[in-house]
Protein backbone atom coordinates (compact mmCIF):
# COMPACT_ATOMS: atom_id res chain seq x y z
CA UNK A 1 0.00 0.00 0.00
CA UNK A 2 2.85 2.35 0.91
CA UNK A 3 4.59 1.44 -2.35
CA UNK A 4 1.38 2.26 -4.29
CA UNK A 5 1.15 5.65 -2.58
CA UNK A 6 4.76 6.38 -3.46
CA UNK A 7 4.19 5.37 -7.10
CA UNK A 8 0.89 7.22 -7.45
CA UNK A 9 2.38 10.60 -8.58
CA UNK A 10 4.48 8.83 -11.19
CA UNK A 11 1.47 6.88 -12.46
CA UNK A 12 -0.55 10.10 -12.79
CA UNK A 13 2.29 11.81 -14.67
CA UNK A 14 2.63 8.90 -17.12
CA UNK A 15 -1.12 8.94 -17.68
CA UNK A 16 -1.13 12.65 -18.43
CA UNK A 17 1.77 12.24 -20.85
CA UNK A 18 -0.10 9.45 -22.63
CA UNK A 19 -3.18 11.65 -22.97
CA UNK A 20 -1.02 14.46 -24.36
CA UNK A 21 0.57 12.15 -26.93
CA UNK A 22 -2.83 10.78 -27.97
CA UNK A 23 -4.14 14.33 -28.31
CA UNK A 24 -1.22 15.33 -30.52
CA UNK A 25 -1.62 12.26 -32.73
CA UNK A 26 -5.36 12.89 -33.03
CA UNK A 27 -4.75 16.52 -34.00
CA UNK A 28 -2.16 15.52 -36.58
CA UNK A 29 -4.62 13.10 -38.18
CA UNK A 30 -7.32 15.75 -38.59
CA UNK A 31 -7.75 17.54 -41.88
CA UNK A 32 -6.38 21.10 -41.67
CA UNK A 33 -9.24 22.31 -43.87
CA UNK A 34 -11.45 23.27 -40.94
CA UNK A 35 -8.71 25.42 -39.44
CA UNK A 36 -7.89 26.95 -42.80
CA UNK A 37 -11.42 27.86 -43.84
CA UNK A 38 -11.53 31.57 -44.70
CA UNK A 39 -13.12 33.73 -42.06
CA UNK A 40 -14.66 36.99 -43.08
CA UNK A 41 -13.74 40.16 -41.25
CA UNK A 42 -16.76 41.92 -42.70
CA UNK A 43 -20.49 41.54 -43.16
CA UNK A 44 -23.10 42.96 -45.52
CA UNK A 45 -25.54 43.89 -42.77
CA UNK A 46 -25.72 47.46 -44.04
CA UNK A 47 -27.33 46.03 -47.19
CA UNK A 48 -29.15 42.90 -46.09
CA UNK A 49 -30.56 44.22 -42.78
CA UNK A 50 -32.72 41.34 -41.49
CA UNK A 51 -33.15 39.62 -44.86
CA UNK A 52 -31.86 36.04 -45.23
CA UNK A 53 -28.36 35.84 -46.69
CA UNK A 54 -25.49 33.36 -46.34
CA UNK A 55 -22.00 34.64 -47.13
CA UNK A 56 -19.86 32.21 -49.09
CA UNK A 57 -16.76 31.41 -47.02
CA UNK A 58 -15.87 28.17 -48.81
CA UNK A 59 -12.28 27.90 -50.09
CA UNK A 60 -13.27 28.20 -53.76
CA UNK A 61 -9.58 28.05 -54.75
CA UNK A 62 -6.36 27.31 -52.89
CA UNK A 63 -5.21 30.88 -53.48
CA UNK A 64 -7.77 32.67 -51.38
CA UNK A 65 -11.42 33.02 -50.32
CA UNK A 66 -14.24 34.10 -52.66
CA UNK A 67 -13.60 37.79 -51.96
CA UNK A 68 -10.00 37.44 -53.19
CA UNK A 69 -11.44 37.32 -56.75
CA UNK A 70 -9.18 34.53 -57.98
CA UNK A 71 -9.27 33.48 -61.65
CA UNK A 72 -7.40 30.21 -62.15
CA UNK A 73 -8.70 29.64 -65.68
CA UNK A 74 -9.87 32.76 -67.55
CA UNK A 75 -11.42 30.65 -70.33
CA UNK A 76 -13.89 28.87 -68.05
CA UNK A 77 -13.99 30.71 -64.72
CA UNK A 78 -15.46 33.86 -66.27
CA UNK A 79 -19.11 32.94 -66.81
CA UNK A 80 -20.93 34.85 -69.52
CA UNK A 81 -24.33 36.34 -68.69
CA UNK A 82 -26.73 37.34 -71.45
CA UNK A 83 -30.26 38.69 -71.78
CA UNK A 84 -29.95 40.56 -68.55
CA UNK A 85 -32.75 42.85 -67.44
CA UNK A 86 -30.75 44.52 -64.67
CA UNK A 87 -28.03 47.12 -64.71
CA UNK A 88 -24.68 46.08 -63.25
CA UNK A 89 -21.81 47.93 -61.60
CA UNK A 90 -18.36 48.01 -63.18
CA UNK A 91 -15.60 48.50 -60.60
CA UNK A 92 -12.78 47.31 -62.85
CA UNK A 93 -11.30 50.83 -63.05
CA UNK A 94 -11.94 51.83 -59.44
CA UNK A 95 -9.20 52.69 -56.97
CA UNK A 96 -7.69 56.14 -57.33
CA UNK A 97 -9.74 59.30 -57.21
CA UNK A 98 -11.27 61.58 -58.03
CA UNK A 99 -14.08 59.92 -60.05
CA UNK A 100 -14.03 56.29 -58.91
CA UNK A 101 -12.06 55.97 -55.66
CA UNK A 102 -11.93 52.96 -53.33
CA UNK A 103 -11.54 53.94 -49.68
CA UNK A 104 -10.96 51.51 -46.82
CA UNK A 105 -13.62 51.73 -44.10
CA UNK A 106 -11.61 49.93 -41.41
CA UNK A 107 -14.22 47.16 -41.16
CA UNK A 108 -12.92 44.84 -43.86
CA UNK A 109 -14.70 46.61 -46.71
CA UNK A 110 -13.61 49.21 -49.24
CA UNK A 111 -16.23 51.72 -50.32
CA UNK A 112 -15.69 51.85 -54.07
CA UNK A 113 -17.32 54.26 -56.49
CA UNK A 114 -18.09 52.39 -59.72
CA UNK A 115 -19.81 52.93 -63.07
CA UNK A 116 -23.37 51.76 -63.60
CA UNK A 117 -23.61 49.86 -66.88
CA UNK A 118 -27.11 49.94 -68.38
CA UNK A 119 -29.33 46.87 -68.57
CA UNK A 120 -29.21 44.77 -71.71
CA UNK A 121 -25.42 44.55 -71.90
CA UNK A 122 -23.60 41.20 -71.60
CA UNK A 123 -21.36 40.83 -68.56
CA UNK A 124 -19.14 38.22 -66.88
CA UNK A 125 -18.91 36.71 -63.39
CA UNK A 126 -15.93 34.90 -61.85
CA UNK A 127 -17.33 31.58 -60.58
CA UNK A 128 -14.74 31.55 -57.78
CA UNK A 129 -15.91 34.92 -56.46
CA UNK A 130 -19.66 34.40 -55.94
CA UNK A 131 -20.33 35.82 -52.47
CA UNK A 132 -23.77 34.25 -51.98
CA UNK A 133 -23.22 30.69 -50.71
CA UNK A 134 -26.51 29.23 -51.98
CA UNK A 135 -26.09 30.74 -55.43
CA UNK A 136 -22.46 29.57 -55.57
CA UNK A 137 -23.47 25.98 -54.80
CA UNK A 138 -26.23 26.05 -57.43
CA UNK A 139 -23.84 27.52 -59.98
CA UNK A 140 -21.13 24.91 -59.36
CA UNK A 141 -23.74 22.13 -59.56
CA UNK A 142 -24.93 23.42 -62.95
CA UNK A 143 -21.65 24.64 -64.43
CA UNK A 144 -18.96 22.48 -62.84
CA UNK A 145 -16.27 23.69 -60.44
CA UNK A 146 -14.41 25.54 -63.21
CA UNK A 147 -17.55 26.78 -64.97
CA UNK A 148 -16.89 25.01 -68.27
CA UNK A 149 -20.45 23.61 -68.58
CA UNK A 150 -21.99 27.09 -68.82
CA UNK A 151 -21.59 30.00 -71.21
CA UNK A 152 -19.32 30.91 -72.90
CA UNK A 153 -17.91 27.35 -73.19
CA UNK A 154 -21.13 25.44 -72.48
CA UNK A 155 -24.68 25.97 -73.65
CA UNK A 156 -26.50 26.96 -70.46
CA UNK A 157 -26.62 30.23 -68.59
CA UNK A 158 -25.23 30.07 -65.06
CA UNK A 159 -27.60 30.34 -62.08
CA UNK A 160 -25.57 33.28 -60.78
CA UNK A 161 -26.62 35.23 -63.89
CA UNK A 162 -30.28 34.60 -63.11
CA UNK A 163 -29.77 35.75 -59.51
CA UNK A 164 -28.11 38.97 -60.64
CA UNK A 165 -30.70 39.63 -63.35
CA UNK A 166 -33.51 39.20 -60.83
CA UNK A 167 -31.60 41.25 -58.21
CA UNK A 168 -31.71 38.44 -55.64
CA UNK A 169 -27.98 37.74 -55.25
CA UNK A 170 -27.54 40.02 -52.22
CA UNK A 171 -30.72 41.33 -50.57
CA UNK A 172 -30.87 45.08 -50.20
CA UNK A 173 -28.45 45.88 -53.04
CA UNK A 174 -29.61 48.08 -55.91
CA UNK A 175 -27.25 46.29 -58.29
CA UNK A 176 -24.26 43.94 -58.27
CA UNK A 177 -20.65 44.47 -59.31
CA UNK A 178 -19.47 42.24 -62.17
CA UNK A 179 -17.15 42.58 -65.17
CA UNK A 180 -18.08 44.14 -68.51
CA UNK A 181 -16.28 45.22 -71.69
CA UNK A 182 -18.74 48.08 -72.12
CA UNK A 183 -16.17 50.82 -71.44
CA UNK A 184 -13.22 48.98 -72.99
CA UNK A 185 -15.11 49.06 -76.29
CA UNK A 186 -15.03 52.86 -76.03
CA UNK A 187 -11.27 53.05 -75.56
CA UNK A 188 -10.81 55.05 -78.77
CA UNK A 189 -13.07 57.69 -77.32
CA UNK A 190 -11.74 57.24 -73.78
CA UNK A 191 -8.16 55.82 -73.82
CA UNK A 192 -8.17 55.51 -70.03
CA UNK A 193 -10.50 52.52 -70.34
CA UNK A 194 -8.07 50.38 -72.36
CA UNK A 195 -7.37 47.10 -70.58
CA UNK A 196 -3.67 46.96 -69.68
CA UNK A 197 -3.23 44.70 -66.64
CA UNK A 198 -0.50 45.55 -64.13
CA UNK A 199 0.86 42.93 -61.71
CA UNK A 200 1.30 44.14 -58.14
CA UNK A 201 3.05 42.64 -55.09
CA UNK A 202 1.21 41.49 -52.00
CA UNK A 203 -0.93 44.23 -50.46
CA UNK A 204 -4.53 44.95 -49.55
CA UNK A 205 -6.98 45.29 -52.42
CA UNK A 206 -10.74 45.39 -52.93
CA UNK A 207 -12.43 42.25 -54.29
CA UNK A 208 -15.47 43.78 -55.95
CA UNK A 209 -16.75 40.79 -57.96
CA UNK A 210 -20.42 40.16 -56.99
CA UNK A 211 -20.24 42.85 -54.29
CA UNK A 212 -23.45 44.76 -53.42
CA UNK A 213 -23.90 48.33 -54.62
CA UNK A 214 -26.18 51.30 -54.01
CA UNK A 215 -27.07 54.11 -56.40
CA UNK A 216 -25.80 57.57 -55.45
CA UNK A 217 -27.77 59.75 -57.84
CA UNK A 218 -24.51 61.17 -59.22
CA UNK A 219 -23.15 60.95 -62.77
CA UNK A 220 -19.69 60.86 -64.26
CA UNK A 221 -19.41 64.05 -66.36
CA UNK A 222 -16.97 62.37 -68.77
CA UNK A 223 -18.98 59.29 -69.77
CA UNK A 224 -22.45 60.37 -68.61
CA UNK A 225 -22.78 57.07 -66.73
CA UNK A 226 -24.38 56.99 -63.27
CA UNK A 227 -22.00 56.42 -60.35
CA UNK A 228 -22.77 53.82 -57.68
CA UNK A 229 -21.23 52.97 -54.32
CA UNK A 230 -20.16 49.34 -53.83
CA UNK A 231 -19.13 47.57 -50.63
CA UNK A 232 -16.12 45.52 -51.75
CA UNK A 233 -14.50 43.12 -49.25
CA UNK A 234 -10.76 43.52 -48.93
CA UNK A 235 -8.08 40.85 -49.17
CA UNK A 236 -4.30 40.92 -48.81
CA UNK A 237 -2.25 39.11 -51.42
CA UNK A 238 -0.63 39.59 -54.85
CA UNK A 239 -3.01 41.01 -57.44
CA UNK A 240 -3.43 42.57 -60.87
CA UNK A 241 -5.14 45.87 -61.64
CA UNK A 242 -6.93 46.52 -64.92
CA UNK A 243 -4.94 49.49 -66.16
CA UNK A 244 -1.28 50.36 -66.40
CA UNK A 245 -0.07 52.48 -63.53
CA UNK A 246 1.24 52.45 -60.00
CA UNK A 247 0.29 49.76 -57.53
CA UNK A 248 0.49 51.74 -54.30
CA UNK A 249 -2.14 54.48 -54.37
CA UNK A 250 -1.16 55.89 -51.00
CA UNK A 251 -3.36 57.22 -48.25
CA UNK A 252 -6.59 55.31 -47.67
CA UNK A 253 -6.99 54.28 -51.32
CA UNK A 254 -6.84 50.69 -52.62
CA UNK A 255 -7.38 49.21 -56.06
CA UNK A 256 -10.37 47.16 -57.07
CA UNK A 257 -8.43 44.15 -58.27
CA UNK A 258 -8.26 40.39 -58.84
CA UNK A 259 -5.59 37.74 -59.05
CA UNK A 260 -4.78 35.28 -61.82
CA UNK A 261 -2.02 32.94 -60.60
CA UNK A 262 0.85 32.41 -63.06
CA UNK A 263 0.54 29.52 -65.50
CA UNK A 264 -3.05 28.86 -64.36
CA UNK A 265 -2.01 25.98 -62.07
CA UNK A 266 -5.61 25.08 -61.26
CA UNK A 267 -7.81 25.18 -58.19
55, 44 in Cβ contact below 8 A?
Answer: yes
Q: In the chain, where are the structural domains located?
A: 1-30, 31-241
Residue 37 — pLDDT band, cuts 50, 70, 90?
Answer: low
pLDDT tens digit sequence for 80-116: 998 778 899 999 999 998 999 999 999 999 999 999 9
Q: Which of 12-26, 50-64, 210-224 has the lowest mean pLDDT?
A: 12-26
89: number of Cβ within 10 Å = 32
pLDDT tens digit sequence for 127-184: 999 999 999 999 999 999 999 999 999 999 999 999 999 999 999 999 999 999 999 9
Average pLDDT of span 220-226? 96
Q: Quick one: pLDDT at residue 38?
A: 59
* Whether the predicted pLDDT of 267 surpasses 60: no
* DSSP code, position 67: G
Residue 50 — pLDDT band, cuts 50, 70, 90?
Answer: confident
Cis peptide before 152 (omega within 30 of 0): yes
The answer for residues whose C-beta is within 8 angstroms of residue 245's C-beta and 6 or more apart is 96, 198
Instruction: Please state, in angstroms and rounded to a whole number, the distance separating the CA atoms of residues 135 and 229.
Output: 23
Average pLDDT of span 33-52? 75
Q: Quick one: pLDDT at residue 40?
A: 74
* Whether the predicted pLDDT of 71 surpasses 60: yes
* Whether the predicted pLDDT of 238 surpasses 90: yes
Q: What is the pTM of this model?
A: 0.84
Cis peptide before 96 (omega within 30 of 0): no
Q: Quick one: pLDDT at residue 25?
A: 29
Instruction: Please state, in angstroms and rounded to a whole number, the distance separating the CA atoms of residues 185 and 190.
Output: 9
Residue predicted with more confidence, 66 or 265: 66
Average pLDDT of span 18-32? 30
Residue 35 — pLDDT band, cuts 50, 70, 90?
Answer: very low
Amino acid sequence: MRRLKKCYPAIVMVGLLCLLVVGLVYSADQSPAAAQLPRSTFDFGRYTKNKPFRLNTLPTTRFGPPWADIVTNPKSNMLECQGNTAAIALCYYSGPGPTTPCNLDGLGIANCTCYEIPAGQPYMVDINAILNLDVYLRTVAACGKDGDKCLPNGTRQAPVCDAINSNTLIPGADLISTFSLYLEKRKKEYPQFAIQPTACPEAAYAGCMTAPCKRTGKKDPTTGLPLVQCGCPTYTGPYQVGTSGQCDLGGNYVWSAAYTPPHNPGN
